[in-house]
Chains A and B, each alone.
Chain A
Amino acid sequence: EVQMLESGGGLVQPGGSQRLSCTVSGFTFSSYTMSWVRQAPGKGLEWVSSISGSGGSTSYADSVKGRFTISRDNSKNTLYLQMNSLRAEDTAVYHCAKKSCNNCHGYFDSWGQGTLVTVSS
């Protein structure tokens, strides 16, 4: 059974930083592209970033490019999202999501429940 557990959310001031983690089990972590998808309170879903199975290829939404960095540690089955220069509009529940394949057009076949990041003074 695939399990995905996010952590690291909390209250952070505008301009601050936060690092999110997503620990997974139940599949061969290094064989799949992983992503972060966020959901602002009462809003829809927004893809944030993806990273290939090896970690060698990354992509970002324009809204976070240059501020967020996605990474992974395949030895620890853990995905990360380093968020810098946070803004109020980054307030959201951040979900990690497993893509159905690696380096391909794939849907998200497993999701974590998410961790809430609130950016406020």
Chain B
Amino acid sequence: EIVLTQSPGTLSLSPGERATLSCRASQSVSSSYLAWYQQKPGQALRLLIYGASSRATGIPDRFSGSGSGTDFTLTISRLEPEDFAVYYCQQYGSSPYTFGQGTKLEIK
């Protein structure tokens, strides 16, 4: 099973700042089958990024994904108030599909 480790656990930033979230895999993620999701209280999870770097439909271009192999990054270029949430990475290249433990992005 591929273990995904996200860092930091909590990130405190202000609106307008740049956020960099990390996701490290215990072994290489095949074909960059890596996705990022956003979770807000009381709402359904929202797909942000798939294939490590492709933005999902309707996702603003301030969200970008990068990386390959075992190291992946989600970057939010300029934080908006609605971006403060919990973010999860997930690998879907090998079974069982696994998720990182999440990074909470909070307002400083």
What chain A residues lie within 8 Å of B88 (beta carbons)? 44-45
Interface size in chain A (residues, C-beta < 8 A)? 21
Interface size class, chain B: 20 to 34
**Residue with the greatest number of chain B CB neighbours at <10 A, chosen from A4, A45, A113:** A45
A47–B96 contact, CB under 8 A?
A: yes
A107 in contact with B44 given A44-B100, A47-B97 (CB within 8 Å): no
A59 in contact with B95 given A107-B35, A108-B35, A108-B47 (CB within 8 Å): yes
A46–B99 contact, CB under 8 A?
A: yes
A1 to chain B, nearest CB (A): 11
A→B interface (CB under 8 Å):
4, 44-47, 59, 61-62, 95, 97, 100, 105-114
